[in-house]
Structure 1
Amino acid sequence: MATGTDQAVGFGLVAVSLIIFTYYTTWVILLPFIDSQHVIHKYFLPRAYAVLLPLAAGLLLLLFVGLFITYVMLKSQKITKKAQ
Protein backbone atom coordinates (compact mmCIF):
# COMPACT_ATOMS: atom_id res chain seq x y z
CA MET A 1 0.00 0.00 0.00
CA ALA A 2 1.35 3.40 -0.95
CA THR A 3 2.00 5.92 1.76
CA GLY A 4 0.78 9.50 1.64
CA THR A 5 4.21 10.68 0.54
CA ASP A 6 4.32 8.17 -2.30
CA GLN A 7 0.90 9.26 -3.45
CA ALA A 8 1.87 12.93 -3.31
CA VAL A 9 5.03 12.31 -5.32
CA GLY A 10 3.10 10.23 -7.82
CA PHE A 11 0.46 12.91 -8.17
CA GLY A 12 3.17 15.52 -8.66
CA LEU A 13 4.87 13.48 -11.37
CA VAL A 14 1.58 12.93 -13.17
CA ALA A 15 0.77 16.64 -12.94
CA VAL A 16 4.18 17.66 -14.32
CA SER A 17 3.86 15.11 -17.12
CA LEU A 18 0.41 16.41 -18.00
CA ILE A 19 1.64 20.00 -18.09
CA ILE A 20 4.60 19.10 -20.31
CA PHE A 21 2.40 17.04 -22.62
CA THR A 22 -0.16 19.84 -22.93
CA TYR A 23 2.52 22.47 -23.56
CA TYR A 24 4.32 20.36 -26.18
CA THR A 25 1.09 19.34 -27.92
CA THR A 26 -0.04 22.94 -28.11
CA TRP A 27 3.39 24.01 -29.33
CA VAL A 28 3.74 21.39 -32.05
CA ILE A 29 0.18 20.69 -33.19
CA LEU A 30 -1.91 23.78 -32.54
CA LEU A 31 0.54 26.67 -32.84
CA PRO A 32 1.20 26.31 -36.59
CA PHE A 33 -2.49 27.00 -37.21
CA ILE A 34 -2.53 30.20 -35.16
CA ASP A 35 -1.56 33.48 -36.82
CA SER A 36 2.13 34.23 -36.29
CA GLN A 37 1.30 37.72 -34.99
CA HIS A 38 -0.89 36.35 -32.19
CA VAL A 39 0.27 37.06 -28.64
CA ILE A 40 0.37 33.35 -27.74
CA HIS A 41 3.52 32.85 -29.82
CA LYS A 42 5.63 34.72 -27.27
CA TYR A 43 5.07 31.92 -24.73
CA PHE A 44 6.69 29.26 -26.91
CA LEU A 45 10.20 28.63 -28.16
CA PRO A 46 10.97 28.70 -31.90
CA ARG A 47 9.74 25.67 -33.81
CA ALA A 48 13.25 24.31 -34.42
CA TYR A 49 13.44 23.44 -30.74
CA ALA A 50 10.30 21.31 -31.09
CA VAL A 51 12.49 18.72 -32.78
CA LEU A 52 15.81 19.38 -31.07
CA LEU A 53 14.61 19.13 -27.46
CA PRO A 54 12.95 15.69 -27.77
CA LEU A 55 15.92 14.50 -29.82
CA ALA A 56 18.35 15.59 -27.11
CA ALA A 57 16.15 14.04 -24.41
CA GLY A 58 15.98 10.77 -26.33
CA LEU A 59 19.73 10.68 -26.82
CA LEU A 60 20.31 11.34 -23.13
CA LEU A 61 17.85 8.60 -22.25
CA LEU A 62 19.67 6.14 -24.51
CA LEU A 63 22.99 7.21 -23.02
CA PHE A 64 21.84 6.61 -19.45
CA VAL A 65 20.20 3.29 -20.32
CA GLY A 66 23.40 2.18 -22.04
CA LEU A 67 25.51 3.28 -19.08
CA PHE A 68 23.22 1.45 -16.67
CA ILE A 69 23.33 -1.76 -18.71
CA THR A 70 27.12 -1.50 -18.96
CA TYR A 71 27.40 -0.97 -15.21
CA VAL A 72 25.18 -3.95 -14.42
CA MET A 73 27.05 -6.21 -16.83
CA LEU A 74 30.46 -5.22 -15.47
CA LYS A 75 29.27 -5.67 -11.90
CA SER A 76 27.87 -9.08 -12.80
CA GLN A 77 31.20 -10.13 -14.31
CA LYS A 78 33.07 -9.10 -11.16
CA ILE A 79 30.75 -11.18 -9.00
CA THR A 80 31.13 -14.17 -11.33
CA LYS A 81 34.94 -13.91 -11.24
CA LYS A 82 34.94 -13.73 -7.43
CA ALA A 83 32.80 -16.86 -7.22
CA GLN A 84 35.28 -18.87 -9.30
Structure 2
Amino acid sequence: MTNTENSVPARVRELIAAMAPDPGSAVTDDQQLVTDLGFDSLRLMELTLVLEQAFDLPRYRPDQLAGIHRVADVIALIEQGLSERTRP
Protein backbone atom coordinates (compact mmCIF):
# COMPACT_ATOMS: atom_id res chain seq x y z
CA MET A 1 0.00 0.00 0.00
CA THR A 2 1.11 3.52 -0.71
CA ASN A 3 0.96 6.41 1.73
CA THR A 4 -2.11 7.71 -0.08
CA GLU A 5 -3.94 4.41 0.35
CA ASN A 6 -3.06 4.33 4.04
CA SER A 7 -4.10 7.92 4.60
CA VAL A 8 -7.64 7.65 3.19
CA PRO A 9 -9.03 5.49 6.03
CA ALA A 10 -7.21 7.58 8.63
CA ARG A 11 -8.52 10.84 7.16
CA VAL A 12 -12.08 9.47 6.98
CA ARG A 13 -11.90 8.36 10.63
CA GLU A 14 -10.51 11.78 11.59
CA LEU A 15 -13.36 13.63 9.85
CA ILE A 16 -15.98 11.32 11.35
CA ALA A 17 -14.50 11.80 14.84
CA ALA A 18 -14.50 15.57 14.40
CA MET A 19 -18.19 15.59 13.46
CA ALA A 20 -19.51 12.83 15.72
CA PRO A 21 -21.85 14.02 18.47
CA ASP A 22 -20.82 11.11 20.75
CA PRO A 23 -17.35 9.99 19.61
CA GLY A 24 -16.30 8.53 22.98
CA SER A 25 -12.84 7.11 22.39
CA ALA A 26 -11.09 6.60 19.06
CA VAL A 27 -13.34 5.98 16.06
CA THR A 28 -13.04 2.40 14.79
CA ASP A 29 -14.13 0.80 11.53
CA ASP A 30 -16.78 -1.42 13.13
CA GLN A 31 -18.66 1.44 14.84
CA GLN A 32 -22.17 2.28 13.69
CA LEU A 33 -22.59 5.92 12.68
CA VAL A 34 -26.01 6.31 14.31
CA THR A 35 -26.05 3.97 17.30
CA ASP A 36 -22.40 4.18 18.37
CA LEU A 37 -21.39 7.69 17.31
CA GLY A 38 -24.71 9.52 17.68
CA PHE A 39 -25.18 10.79 14.12
CA ASP A 40 -28.69 11.88 13.14
CA SER A 41 -29.96 12.43 9.60
CA LEU A 42 -28.88 16.07 9.45
CA ARG A 43 -25.41 15.33 10.79
CA LEU A 44 -25.07 12.48 8.27
CA MET A 45 -25.87 14.90 5.44
CA GLU A 46 -23.26 17.32 6.78
CA LEU A 47 -20.71 14.50 7.01
CA THR A 48 -21.43 13.55 3.40
CA LEU A 49 -20.77 17.11 2.24
CA VAL A 50 -17.56 17.35 4.26
CA LEU A 51 -16.28 14.06 2.85
CA GLU A 52 -17.17 15.04 -0.72
CA GLN A 53 -15.24 18.29 -0.31
CA ALA A 54 -12.28 16.78 1.55
CA PHE A 55 -11.70 14.16 -1.14
CA ASP A 56 -12.84 16.28 -4.11
CA LEU A 57 -15.60 13.83 -5.03
CA PRO A 58 -18.83 14.48 -6.91
CA ARG A 59 -22.05 14.60 -4.92
CA TYR A 60 -23.35 11.21 -3.88
CA ARG A 61 -26.86 10.17 -4.85
CA PRO A 62 -29.18 8.98 -2.06
CA ASP A 63 -29.18 5.42 -3.46
CA GLN A 64 -25.37 5.33 -3.12
CA LEU A 65 -25.66 6.15 0.58
CA ALA A 66 -28.51 3.76 1.46
CA GLY A 67 -26.34 0.92 2.80
CA ILE A 68 -23.84 3.06 4.68
CA HIS A 69 -24.09 2.27 8.39
CA ARG A 70 -20.58 1.69 9.73
CA VAL A 71 -17.34 3.65 9.58
CA ALA A 72 -15.92 0.89 7.36
CA ASP A 73 -18.80 1.45 4.92
CA VAL A 74 -17.88 5.14 4.66
CA ILE A 75 -14.22 4.28 4.05
CA ALA A 76 -15.18 1.81 1.31
CA LEU A 77 -17.47 4.37 -0.33
CA ILE A 78 -14.75 7.03 -0.38
CA GLU A 79 -12.12 4.60 -1.68
CA GLN A 80 -14.50 3.48 -4.43
CA GLY A 81 -15.18 7.10 -5.38
CA LEU A 82 -11.47 7.85 -5.53
CA SER A 83 -10.76 4.80 -7.69
CA GLU A 84 -13.58 5.73 -10.09
CA ARG A 85 -12.25 9.27 -10.30
CA THR A 86 -8.81 8.06 -11.39
CA ARG A 87 -10.10 5.73 -14.14
CA PRO A 88 -9.55 7.00 -17.70
* TM-based fold match above 0.5: no
Is the radius of gyration larger for structure 1 or structure 2? 1
Provide the TM-score with structure 2 as the length reference: 0.26
Structure having the larger proportion of residues in helix: 1
Provide the TM-score with structure 1 as the length reference: 0.27
